[in-house]
Amino acid sequence: MISNNQQLTTSNYFMLKGNTKYILILVTAVLLVIIVEWLTPKPINWTPTFDREDNNPYGSAILYELLPDIFPGKQIYTLNKTLYELNEEDALQTGNYVFVHNEFSIGQEEVDILLSLADQGNSIFIASNTFPDELADTLQFEMENIFFTTDSIRLNFTQPQLKATGFYPFRRIDVLFGFKPVKDKKAIYQVLGVSSNKVTNFIRVPFGKGWFYLNTVPLAYTNYNMLYQENREYLSKSLSYLPVDNTYWDEYYKPFRRESQSPLRYILSQPALKWALYLSVGALLLFMFFEAKRKQRIIPIVQPLSNTTLEFTETVGRLYFQYKDHKNIADKKITYFLDYLRMHLYIKFSEIDENLYIRLADKTGIPQIEIESLFSFIRQIQSKKQISEDELLTLNRKIEDFERRSR
């Protein structure tokens, strides 16, 4: 006769054996998710960090690695504190100071420190779209911005010894900030570089015993543009104005510096507080799990409202097709196709020309000759008052083939 203890032991064994199958399934699923996440290629990060360790397109890892070659035999230092803190610690020594940002925004006290450094004979190089008003007022320059219909600009130097035979092309830049020409009086700055449309983007301003070097195209100093054609030469030349001296590279004022910005950063920096937080969160999650398991009621199934948009579209399409209004359908198809280029491929254009074909080819990888053929057929359709059913079907096939290949 089997005792009660034996019955309980047997029951627990079968319960454990039954649960083991589900545990193995759960563990396998978690491992599969981890493997898929590990093997899936990460999307390209186009965030402009200008970080010295960022190898993404808009990081500045390549430029930072080139600094020892541009300033041979000299030390390269990294600044990870505010100019005010470094000045209080007497950490600002003689040398070159390099700042590369999208918006160089500092206060009056920090501007005064930069002016003091230049006054003592140091060189300050700043590549940024904008500069502090306090600095602009002191150095007597004004800014302007110019928008382009294309996504690239071309730059060159004005000095004969540095000027290239052709302009250096920089891509994925659709706005250029420049220095306004001084009309009422003679400018105290010297123009070092201009764009192909004659906008001044690089100047040198004397201050005391030193110099300020200001460039309005910071994206030119990122990995993406440095690897494009001969642009590395442009960066080397622009920094060659600075003397061969110890160089200080700023990391503190970057737009996305690695320092934690969480309101909990103090708690996380203290081991005791950090573990207390982790234990509290863990206990709260366990409490929520068991309470939900005990008290959660069955959630009724609510059928979602049916989406009749597709049926309506098909009905309207059949109506047009039934009345042989092929030209009307083609015009709408073309309109939706052009909207697709703007909304899904993010291509901005005001007219269909050779530049649009080149941008679409770069964006989608489709040969330019095929793109030109598609738009040539579209122009033929638009020029006619009536089209045949075969022409409508050909247009639809060409557009759907392009959209499929561009995804």
pLDDT computed for residue 263 by the predictor: 56
Q: Give the model's pLDDT for residue 2.
A: 45
User: Tell me: the pLDDT tens digits for 65-110?
Assistant: 999 999 999 999 999 999 999 999 998 999 999 999 999 989 999 9
Regarding beta strands 210-215 and 200-207, do their DSSP bridges make them parallel or antiparallel, or are they unpaired?
antiparallel
Which CATH number is 61-250 given? 3.40.50
Burial bucket for residue 77 (CB in 10 Å: 0-12, 13-18, 19+): middle
* Tokens (6 digits) for 144: 């302007």
Domain locations in the chain as residue ranges: 61-250, 309-406
Q: What are phi and psi for residue 236, nearest 5 degrees?
A: -65, -40
pLDDT recorded at residue 16:
46
DSSP3 helix / strand / coil % (the chain, rounded to 5): 50, 15, 35
Per-residue pLDDT of the chain (407 residues; tens, 9 = 90+): 445 454 444 444 444 455 566 667 767 776 776 677 667 777 888 889 999 999 999 999 999 999 999 999 999 999 999 999 999 999 899 999 999 999 998 999 999 999 999 999 999 999 999 999 999 999 999 998 887 657 789 999 999 999 999 999 998 887 889 999 877 677 789 999 999 989 999 999 999 999 999 999 999 999 999 988 889 999 999 999 999 999 999 999 988 765 444 556 566 656 666 667 777 777 777 766 666 555 556 677 777 766 555 565 566 566 566 666 788 888 888 888 888 888 888 888 878 888 888 888 888 888 989 888 989 998 888 888 888 888 888 888 888 888 888 87
pLDDT of residue 310: 52
Q: Which of 205, 210, 241 is nearest to 120 (CA)?
A: 210
Each residue of 316-341: pLDDT tens digit?
Answer: 566 566 666 788 888 888 888 888 88
What is the SS3 assignment for 247?
strand
